[in-house]
Structure 1
Amino acid sequence: MVVGAIDCTHVWLDGSPLKTTEYVYVNRKGWHSINVQFVTDANYNIINVSARWPGSVHDCRVLENSYVGQDFQRGELEGVLLGDSGYPQRSWLMTAFRNPQTHAERTYSRAHMRGRVVVEQTNGQIKKKFPCLRRGLRVKPKKACQIIIACTVLYRLSKDWKEPYLGRDHELPDVGVDDFDGPVNNEGYAARAQLVARCFT
């Protein structure tokens, strides 16, 4: 049922001209960024990207306003995405248990973690392949978003062409995200309970 894993990553705006909108680009760690949402498949291919939100915007809001989030919500896309605790539990978006109590819940959470880690690794891979995404972009936010999309397309082509990565590891600290603290979606929790009972008991 899983069609992809979803996560956001921050691309640093290093000296970008922000003028009066500067404050909306400040992320949780106190630096300016674009919050970029990736959906990846099991082979580290980016199958969807949303690069248009300032660093202060929560991952959940990015999802709710993205085409992929809206299409899943309307039932136009089938399958399940795997997300971290920054996302709400939905029938089409599975999150891990915060405190798994049973053997089935622990087994589900381990499987969820193994499936979702692919998107985190993909975030690292694209930033290593295109150093501008980890060292920072010194352009206006709109141009930065265009560069991020272009890098995503080139990254996907490099995967299709099986090009090796030959770079070095230099990462910005992870921004992280607050746990989702919005309204509870009982349908989402019921869908997760059904999945656990069907596949992990």
Structure 2
Amino acid sequence: MSDSPLNLSTPIIAILRAPTAARFAQVAAVLHESGITAVEFTLTSAGALDALRDYAGSGHPVGAGTVLTAADAARAVDAGAAYLITPVVSTEVIAEARRLGVPVISGAFTPTEIHRAHAAGSTMVKVFPASVGGPDYIRAIRDPLPDIPLVPTGGVARTDVKAYLDAGATALGMGSPLIGDACVGGDLEALRERVSIVREQLS
């Protein structure tokens, strides 16, 4: 499987999580317009599958996050998810993603979990929660496991983007430090400004 459907021309996966997914399409559109090409709709948000289904026709690939079971994976792909993201090492989700032919990013933390996820077929591995170890932890993981693409996620601050990428991260998952209150009625222009701060560290 290729990770190309994630369209990581910018190495950021924006994570949309809120009580409801009512504003996900608007936020995703702003992110895409601002140069963030990978966006995750989390299934713990009410209406996420409907939002996925509606946004899938926009021409921008969108992923499903917090996928915990094979049934979740199947429903998400049926709704139009181009890739799947889990917070844990779920071999049933990895197997279902492979069966459906979509990339999957499995959550893991320890070297053993990271290796297990990759060996099971995870396209990339989400190191979660990344803030526990920071960029130094990613650098330490990269030494013995240099061929596993790592996506630090969870508490990645806007000002730490370059440090994580310099430490060897393939991409970063960013939720509230990037999205802020945009999914619950917040200012979308402020979201554009936060995206700009992040993208400045990528040049």
Tell me if TM exceeds 0.5: no
Higher helix share: 2
Q: Which of these two proteins has the greater Rg computed from alpha carbons?
A: 1
Q: Which has the higher contact order (CA 8 A, sep 6+)?
A: 1
TM-score by length of structure 1 reads 0.32
